Amino acid sequence: MIRLNVDCLVFIFNELQIKETYLHSCLLVNKEWCRLVVPILWKNYPQKNNDKLKENKSKEKLFNIILSCLSSTSKQLLFDNGIKLPSTILLKPPSFNYISYCKFLKSKLIKEIIEMVSGETFITGRCGKYKYLEQELYKLYISQCNNIKELSWRTSQPILSFPGASTCFSQLHGLSIEIDKVDNDSLYKMAQLCKDLNVLIIHDYSQEKISGLISLIDAQRKLKSVSFEHIKKGPTCKELSEALARKGNTINKLNLRSVRIIPPSFLTSLTNLKKITIYSDYDSDEDTKEEFQNYLAISEFPELQILCLNGLSCFKESATLVEKTKGNISQVNIYTFDNVAENTGLLIKAIANNCPNIEQLSTYLVPEDFDYVKSLLLNCKNLIYLGLNSLDYFMDMNDENDNIGDNLLDILTKFSPKSLTKIVIGAGWKYSVDAFERFFESCRERKLYFFGITHNGDNFENITYKHLNIIRKYMDEKVIIEFFDY
């Protein structure tokens, strides 16, 4: 047998990561292959592999391997504090220093290991003696891992003071922080340690720690993605908006799950934005929403690819944004809490004229907009998903508007591109059973992988058992693969 050199083997094994079952088989060939494959498998724990471990036994094996990597000093400390580790990990030391290969440090993994050992739910801050196990697990990773790439920072443990922290975190690319768990000094320390973050995710919000957070943002040289998740109520912070504006040349992805905390003036600075997702809460005041809409109207994101707005009724502003792009938009998702929305047709028209490569669109429209749908289908030949939601106030239609939804179905029947295999329509319009059947007949060649009907309010009477029977018929004939009525 011809012997492949190490570089060739490593290249092949890295390619086999897509099929991990093949890679696991390579472990058993010989010692050399095993020595090369183990680091490749472990560098992704727990980023990818832990999510696949659905069976408790598989997780238990992984967790026991990690626990076996604890030093004898750590094991003694845990024993002295009444923490009993699984007996199997004490038999012999591991064959490899598995932890040293890891590039991801996730709080979820630490939490699940503690829950396995303790047999109960683990909550940081109320963990009793198991705080020692949490401490030693973090110390293990931080001391053994050189150049962690991603960190989930959701612990009150002083991880930046643990031995090896300066080396471990110096090349972080992704950082997710639960602000409630860390103090301001720790944020300042992290700003000194890592300056090359690509991704920053902020959970919760605290006015007292805003200076440390701003310091962390300012320290980054190439920050690309910023997310604010699960933000609780708090005062608006102009300084945070200004800090984001200072990174306007590098940020290309923004995910903002509250419009109450950060003034939107920074939006005009994000000239290289490729993806924007904004969620407005039900209880956000109208003035705040209007301010965001006004700034969206005057912003320009020429490189924009994905636009997702939830809770903001800004169809005109969205249309203006689309018209200012270079035509690279692939996804637009608009959701509103308002029963009445204006200028819905403007957005569809703008997409039809400016987004030839769009693959996914979910928006609202009124019957007067149906002609724009025809233009959309004719101009956007790569469309895969189309969601057209009706507004509540079209529930109560008079007789002359009976079966007005047939116009929409006929347009979908005649002009849908072959790529369009996922469709959602609103139940606010009435449809005839014949129009339903004509539409599904037109889908025989391409098949509908997904068909859905959305109900706003209580408009369930428009979709009858006859409609559902037609859907079942075409599901039985494999024209419709999945159906959702929600």
pLDDT, mean of each 10-residue run, the chain (486 residues): 61 59 64 68 61 62 88 91 82 77 88 87 70 94 90 93 93 93 93 95 83 95 91 72 95 86 91 93 71 91 96 89 96 82 90 97 92 96 95 49 87 96 92 94 93 76 89 95 90
Report CA Rg, the chain. 27
The residue from 27, 42, 57 where one domain ends is: 42
Whether 210 maps to a domain, the answer reads no
* Cβ neighbours for 342, distance < 8 A, ≥ 6 positions apart: 313, 315, 316
Tell me the pLDDT tens digit for each residue of 179-218. Answer: 888 999 999 999 999 999 999 999 887 778 889 999 999 9
Domain co-membership, 31 together with 111: no
Q: What pLDDT is recorded for position 467?
A: 92
Q: What pLDDT is recorded for position 393?
A: 46
Domain co-membership, 33 together with 49: no
Q: What pLDDT is recorded for position 351?
A: 97
Domain co-membership, 131 together with 30: no
Per the DSSP assignment, residues forming a β-bridge with 229 are 203
* Of the candidates 428, 431, 434, 423, the residue with the CA atom closest to the CA atom of residue 464: 431
Burial of 361 (0-12, 13-18, 19+ CB in 10 A): buried
Specify the amino acid at residue 417.
Answer: P
* Cβ neighbours for 434, distance < 8 A, ≥ 6 positions apart: none
Domain co-membership, 28 together with 78: no
Q: What pLDDT is recorded for position 296?
A: 92
Q: What pLDDT is recorded for position 485?
A: 85
* Of the candidates 409, 400, 403, the residue with the CA atom closest to the CA atom of residue 428: 403
Domain co-membership, 35 together with 122: no
- CA geometry: angle at 428 spanning 427 and 431, to 5°? 65
Whether 23 maps to a domain, the answer reads yes
Per the DSSP assignment, residues forming a β-bridge with 227 are 201, 255
Task: Specify whether the CB–CB gap between 345 and 369 falls below 8 A.
Answer: yes
Whether 96 maps to a domain, the answer reads yes
Question: Residue 400 belongs to what H/E stretch?
Answer: none
Whether 427 maps to a domain, the answer reads yes
* CATH number, domain containing residue 474: 3.80.10
Domain co-membership, 18 together with 127: no
* Cβ neighbours for 162, distance < 8 A, ≥ 6 positions apart: 138, 139, 142, 143
Q: What is the mean pLDDT of the chain?
A: 85
* Of the candidates 204, 338, 179, 336, the residue with the CA atom closest to the CA atom of residue 261: 204
The residue from 151, 171, 191 where one domain ends is: 171
Q: Mark out the alpha helices in 53-183 (DSSP H runs).
A: 56-68, 72-80, 107-118, 131-144, 165-168
Please state, in angstroms and rounded to a whole number, the distance separating the CA atoms of residues 249 and 340. 37
Whether 285 maps to a domain, the answer reads no
Q: What pLDDT is recorded for position 140?
A: 94
The residue from 148, 171, 194 where one domain ends is: 171
Q: What pLDDT is recorded for position 486?
A: 78
* Of the candidates 249, 203, 262, the residue with the CA atom closest to the CA atom of residue 223: 249
Domain co-membership, 167 together with 83: yes
Q: What pLDDT is recorded for position 483?
A: 94
Domain co-membership, 29 together with 94: no
Whether 336 maps to a domain, the answer reads yes
If one counts the domains in the chain, the total is: 3
Quote the pTM value: 0.86
Per-residue exposure over 413-430, b if at least 16 CB sit within 10 Å of its own CB, e if not? beebbeebbbbbbbbbbb
> In which domain, by residue range, is 83 found?
43-171
Domain co-membership, 30 together with 123: no
**Residues making up the chain, counted from first to last:** 486
Domain co-membership, 359 together with 481: yes
E strands along 97-239, which residues? 104-105, 150-153, 174-178, 199-203, 225-229
- Return the sign of the alpha-carbon dihedral for residues 9, 14, 18, 19: positive
Please state, in angstroms and rounded to a whole number, the distance separating the CA atoms of residues 375 and 331. 17
Whether 256 maps to a domain, the answer reads no
Whether 231 maps to a domain, the answer reads no
Domain co-membership, 79 together with 63: yes
Q: What pLDDT is recorded for position 1?
A: 43
Per the DSSP assignment, residues forming a β-bridge with 362 are 333, 387
Helix (H, G, I), strand (E, B) or coil at 396: coil
Domain co-membership, 385 together with 424: yes
